A and B are shown apart, each in its own frame.
Chain A
Amino acid sequence: MFHAIRTPGRMRDQLKDMQTRLREIAAAFLERPDALFFIGWEMTPDEKETRPFFARNPRQAQRLVWNDLCHPNPASYLPRLRDREGMIGVAVKGCDARALRELIRANQIERKNLFVLGIPCTGLVDPNTGAIASRCAECQYPVDFDYDETLGPMETPALTVERSAPDLDAMSLQQRRAFWKQELDKCIRCDACRKICYGCYCPECIFEMSDPKWATNRGDLADKIFYHAVRAYHLAGRCVGCDECARACPMGVRLDLLNRSLRDHAKEMFSFDGAGITDEKPLLRTFSTEDPDPFFGGDE
């Protein structure tokens, strides 16, 4: 049932212990009369990956797993569950907790309806390559959150993983444009990136609206670029770097790079340190006269 690929043996035992405790805690939560379900992870049928799992009773809690393949972000299911009456248990690792914090801040779920179990994560593994997942290389947890329980101190693991992605900043403008054209042309506009994103909780996406009609639906490269650019800007300052968009993309578009570059710029230009970490307002929803404005020839 347990697939650690790069995680060393000693840590593997540690993960297994955590899994046991996760199941105990979830089962105990599900004994509560007001408990609806506990959202965590289970192994996929081929046992190569994990997927979200909604445990409804203590027996089902035994299907929950915790290991270095727990990529999905359980917090992203919460907005659509906000009308449910009762308590929802949810297991979160650092990146998920950042998303959860943003969701609570944006009124998408009420803290009082949640039982939050914090899991100290030591880095996830990419099931295809066996290497540490790229998002974990720049992880900024522990995240400050009022967890109901945790499986240990929410500390930052000392991961010294280099970014393996193409260095976009080193590219010329033309090269970068060519890179993104090629990358975004793979998109088939299936919307998986949008639907899996914790931050895409608008009741109706502007790309679905017919009046006003924000976007054409021709599906050509211009449309694809428009879609991804708007989405990236929309998430600037809210993206918590969980990379679920890239994982969900069936065509392998490097959406993680797109969002990451916006996060980098936010840090560089506005000293904005990433969503879900502080109580700073989302970047693009604030205005300060000291904001740099290089586009209009202002101070860099």
Chain B
Amino acid sequence: MSRVKVGVFVCHCGSNIGGTVDVPDVVEYAKDLPLVHYSEDNLYTCSDAGLTAIKEKIKEHGLNRVVVASCTPRTHEELFRRTCEEAGVNRYLFEFVNLREHCSWIHMNQPQEATCKAKELVRLGAAKAARLRPLEIARAQIKPACLVIGGGVAGLSAAGSLAQQGFEVHLVERNDRLGGLTVDLWKLLPGDRPASELLHTLTARVTKNDNVTLYLSSELNEITGFIGSFKATLSTPSGKKDIEIGTVIVATGAVELEPLGLYNLGKTEGVITQMGLEKMLSDGRKDLGDVVFINCAGARGPDREYCGRLCCAVSIKNARYLKEADPDARVTVLQRDVMAFGTEFETEYRKAMCAGVRFIRFSPDRPPTTIGNDKVTGVRIYNQLTGEESDLSANTVVLTTPLAADSGASDLAQMLKVPVDKDGFFLEAHLKLRPVEFATDGVFIAGAARFPADIGEAVAQGTAAAAKAAAPMFAGEVSVEATTALTNPRLCSGCATCEAVCPFGAIEITQDRHGRPVSEVNAVMCKGCGACAAACPCGAIQQLGFTDSQIFEMVRSLARDGDPSGSEG
């Protein structure tokens, strides 16, 4: 290796740093640091003049490590790395010292101390820089094919969108027909369009496009690999089928909760769920007599804390249909509060009330009870607003239950190495910033598999997931961060601690040539979070760019030279 030559560039950041820290003093100090061959200050290192200076000094002094002490790596690290690269120095031989946010801004009133701290920070940065090693960015080819798991509304939207963009799509549906839960629905809000109409449109987009291979009555058995090159095995009616894809969209949907026993569901005739009602309506049955809807059935309680979100709208919709079909029937919705979000649902709520549907609020402390032994005859309700208890006659009681995670979701999650939340729904990478992605690259999420979603949301999310999946497939390759974890097989005991802690499923225990278990990091899947390096009991995993010896060099530099008396550190 050629001799280490560190160059240090200290930025005034206008007056952001220079106003507090004595920058020229720091530059002078840096000149005497071990292996530092050049040091200068710039008004703005990030300006054209500053960047040009870095490049020129690299050439002039043969610098092979660059330290910039300036604002924050969040905004500027990439810029300086690129500058180094342009001057022929590997981008990972650059080290950022955060003088603005770690020093000048927070010590604005103590300029002397801030200058002292700035020197120490620069010293640590230079010490680490000296131990940096060049790293190579890995690139992964992306196969332009996507596996869509689930043929409900979200899955159909995603598959249709990708197929239209020309990508190969493998759509896997567990049931023998497409459409998911929507198949059993009657009419949809807003507009009272029959559900079958929408399904027809969505299905046609998929079935009429040659890019889509459809697997009905099929399930995903196994999947391995990472973004760009997943290998999946499907079990289909015609046997096992191996496919290779570049991306995966999870759109497995949810199931309607059937809380047997609750409000006598399953025990007393006439107590049904909303899906049961939808089926009846689809079959043309509307003679249900007096109907009482009980909302939040099985939701927002100790066992299941979440709100079903769409339940209120569903009960509003179906209550009105029933009332309109039989104006003499008494139709009542028992609710804890009505979540009719958006103007459309608010209008629907009004329409239902105008049609004569009664809405009565109850308290979870005194929930309604069904009356009737073999067949339901009524509901006893404590009206929270009036404070009165009364009995409502009912020939049918409809429980509005929330959508719940499919019991198969956790197996699928394990297979894909993606997380689920405590209710069993899949957990996206970030609620707001990355709503249709998983933390694992190349795997996306849409629809009710994530959380109860209505049809409109499922369509939107399916299309959004398709857009996200399309981006890397269009690019054809992804470059992956080089600061990944790396196992030293000589030090690895094969204990699999790393495999257990890796949030990205990037570590696998394989066998070395002697047949011993040894950990192997997949650099493409690794996000460089460092969890494995910290957890490894043997010190066998190093986080490139943050290796133990690099960190130690910083600590040693701090301990050794921090005390000017030179006493033992």
Contacts and interface: CB of A to CB of B under 8 A. Distances in A.
A, B: real partners? yes
B517 A202 contact: no
A212 B495 contact: no
A107 B549 contact: no
B515 A209 contact: no
Interface stretch (B254-262, B374-382, B391-399, B496-504): B496-504
Interface of B (DSSP majority class) = loop
A109 B540 CA distance: 19
B493 A214 contact: no
Nearest to B556: A213
Interface string B426-454: 00000000000000000000000000000
B535 A203 contact: no
A282 B497 CA distance: 9
A109 to B, nearest CB: 11
A203 B491 contact: yes
B493 A281 contact: no
B548 interface: yes
Given A83-B515, A202-B491, A204-B491, A281 B500 contact: yes
A211 B492 CA distance: 15
Given A83-B514, A83-B515, A281-B500, A108 B495 contact: yes
A213 B552 contact: yes
Contact of B490 (A108, A203, A282, A285): A203
A151 to B, nearest CB: 30
Given A83-B515, A202-B537, A212-B549, A285 B497 contact: yes
B539 interface: yes
Contacts of B549: 211-212
Interface residue tally on B, bucketed by range: 20 to 34
A48 interface: no
A133 B549 CA distance: 43
Interface in B499-555: 500-501, 509, 514-517, 535, 537-540, 547-549, 552
A107 B512 CA distance: 13
Contacts of B516: 82-83
B547 to A, nearest CB: 7
B493 A201 contact: yes
B494 A285 contact: no
A234 interface: yes
A107 B493 CA distance: 8
Contacts of A83: 514-516
A203 B500 contact: no
B514 A203 contact: no
A82 B493 CA distance: 11
Contacts of A212: 539, 547-549, 552
A106 interface: yes
A281 B501 CA distance: 11
A34 B549 CA distance: 45
A108 B493 contact: yes
Given A83-B515, A107-B509, A206 B493 contact: no
A214 B552 CA distance: 8
25 contacts: A79-B493, A83-B515, A83-B516, A107-B493, A107-B496, A108-B494, A201-B493, A201-B495, A202-B491, A202-B537, A202-B538, A202-B539, A203-B491, A203-B492, A203-B540, A204-B490, A204-B538, A206-B539, A211-B549, A212-B548, A212-B549, A212-B552, A234-B537, A282-B497, A285-B501
Closest 9 CB pairs between A and B?
A106-B495, A202-B538, A212-B548, A212-B549, A107-B517, A107-B494, A212-B552, A206-B539, A285-B497
Interface of B: 490-497, 500-501, 509, 514-517, 535, 537-540, 547-549, 552
